[in-house]
Structure 1
Amino acid sequence: MKKLKSNMESVSKIYFIDNPYPNGHKIEEFSWSGRIDEYGFIWFDFHLKTENYYANDDENSEDDDEELSDWDSKIVWGNYHACTLSSNYWGEQRGIRINKLDEKLDFDAVVKKDLFSNDLPSDQHFDDDDLAFNIYLLGHDSCAGHQIRFSKTENHQYDIIWTGKIALTYSGDDEFSHEFKAEIFNAEFEGFHYPKTWSLEKAAEMFKAKLANFEDYEFVDLNPKSNKREYKLDKLKH
């Protein structure tokens, strides 16, 4: 996972609305990639990890009010150290599907629109396996209702606004009553992966059938110093 580069004017952060840290938490790792699955569906994957919640906290600023909820208590946040929010970190294939099987995917058209996960559970049904992302927040909690907005900047980079809802399911609460907002600066799309069982020829055939403007992509060796050939499909930088 990539370490984020930042400057004084644009530090990537995630804010957990109304938690004890109104200034947010710096995002230390962020990645945005794509993949095609065995059925020809194409997905976006996102992964982020924060610094420790208390990284910029004053030594004597912890609360001692036992009546505070988990969400409001700095002591509770401190017990869980940092957040990981990801569609692929724990080995599961989640993420947000971005194509229709009967249409070629136009990457540039996709990132001009807001992306939605459409996975917020109803009152009658809640299955964690249906969610697009996993989250470790105050334990292994749940998140849904994601909205992701891209703003293209320079050098093939994007600023991203990512919002969603959180349920503290680790502590037994399945209500998505909390919210987050992540602001990510200068992110790069890292290319499309494909099943390891596919040959390079099959991958090329599948991508050509599913991606618009296939000529704007190239296969990149993931491990050029290794004897094992493994590739991803990336956009040409021009």
Structure 2
Amino acid sequence: MESVNKIHFLNSPYPNGHQLTAFIWRGRIDEDESVWFDFHLKSENYYAEEEEEENNDDFDESENEDISSWDSKIVWDNYLACTLSSIYWGEGGGIRIDNSGEKIDLDKVIQNDLYTNDLPSENDFDEDDLAFGIYLLGHDSCANHRIKFSKKENHSYDIEWTGKIALTYSGDDEFSHEFTASIKNAEFDGFHYPKTWSVEKATEVFQSKLAYFEDYEFVDLNPKSNKREYKLNKINK
């Protein structure tokens, strides 16, 4: 069983997957007071773990003009690494978690798997409707995400994240590829809120949105700066 954070792209030229160089799981409340989970990951270079073998039986891709982008190591290596994120290209994606009308109990939210119903239909494809952006073999598209949490010790979680991919950068709108990411001992990075809000306004809104608000505290994002910006963190007891 692997103990490192990795992402695998099923049936790609790299069956062993790719280690992650970054992972963020955080909350966000937007101007209209909707509450979201955001996720962000970045992989190492695709070829980073490739072992050099003395007897390399790989065929020469240049001799096969019909090889697809997905099957070509040359194409993968050309695009270097993957970024999969709801925040890297600006806020507006993510998974909404305040749909029930009740106050959000963070522990209860992550007892259940999170899903997105953003798989485009054949005649209805709009990038703005997708919860996450992806840079894979160019700026491609991903949808139909499922995120599962397993609680560990010390307020951390193992996360399994799956979804479907379309190589839209190369003109393919069919979500025929899949990924699975495994993250070990992830910690929640708190709730971020609009920079235009005062701490007083954020307090008022969060009190109306979060169960057990007394279990949270505001944390300065830039303690060494004169610019005061905060996020709301859950206090680990």
TM-score by length of 1: 0.93
Which deviates more, 101-110 or 163-172? 101-110
**Quick one: distance in 1 between partners of 2:100 and 2:4?**
38
Aligned length: 231
Where does the alignment leave 5 or more consecutive residues of structure 2 unmatched? none
Q: Work out whether 1:13 is the aligned partner of 2:12.
A: no
Per the alignment, residue 64 of structure 1 pairs with: 60
Per the alignment, residue 3 of structure 1 pairs with: none
**Partner AA of 2:36 in structure 1:** W
Per the alignment, residue 39 of structure 1 pairs with: 32
Classify 1:63/1:230 alpha carbon distance in 2 versus 1 (closer, same or farther; 3 Å): farther
Q: Work out whether 1:193 is the aligned partner of 2:192.
A: yes
CA offset at residue 117 of structure 1?
1.2
Per the alignment, residue 157 of structure 2 pairs with: 158
**Partner AA of 1:225 in structure 2:** K
Per the alignment, residue 5 of structure 1 pairs with: none
3-state DSSP of counterpart to 1:190: coil
**Quick one: distance in 2 between partners of 1:101 and 1:219?**
25
CA offset at residue 228 of structure 1?
1.2
Classify 1:221/1:90 alpha carbon distance in 2 versus 1 (closer, same or farther; 3 Å): same
**Quick one: distance in 2 between partners of 1:100 and 1:147?**
17
**Quick one: distance in 2 between partners of 1:110 and 1:226?**
34
CA offset at residue 59 of structure 1?
4.8
CA offset at residue 9 of structure 1?
5.0
Classify 1:212/1:78 alpha carbon distance in 2 versus 1 (closer, same or farther; 3 Å): same
Mapping 1:194-213, distance limit 5 Å: 194-213=193-212
Per the alignment, residue 225 of structure 2 pairs with: 226
Q: Work out whether 1:50 is the aligned partner of 2:46.
A: no
Q: Work out whether 1:25 is the aligned partner of 2:24.
A: no
Deviations 1:34-74 (A, max 9, x none): 01111111000000000000002245766522331110111
Residue identity (%): 70
CA offset at residue 200 of structure 1?
0.2
Where does the alignment leave 5 or more consecutive residues of structure 1 unmatched? 1-7
CA RMSD after TM alignment: 1.4
CA offset at residue 235 of structure 1?
0.3
Which deviates more, 154-163 or 219-228? 219-228
**Quick one: distance in 2 between partners of 1:129 and 1:63?**
40
Q: Work out whether 1:236 is the aligned partner of 2:235.
A: yes
Per the alignment, residue 167 of structure 1 pairs with: 166
**Quick one: distance in 1 between partners of 2:186 and 2:59?**
36
Per the alignment, residue 81 of structure 2 pairs with: 82
**Quick one: distance in 2 between partners of 1:101 and 1:220?**
28
Deviations 1:4-28 (A, max 9, x none): xxxx951110000000111111011
**Partner AA of 1:160 in structure 2:** I
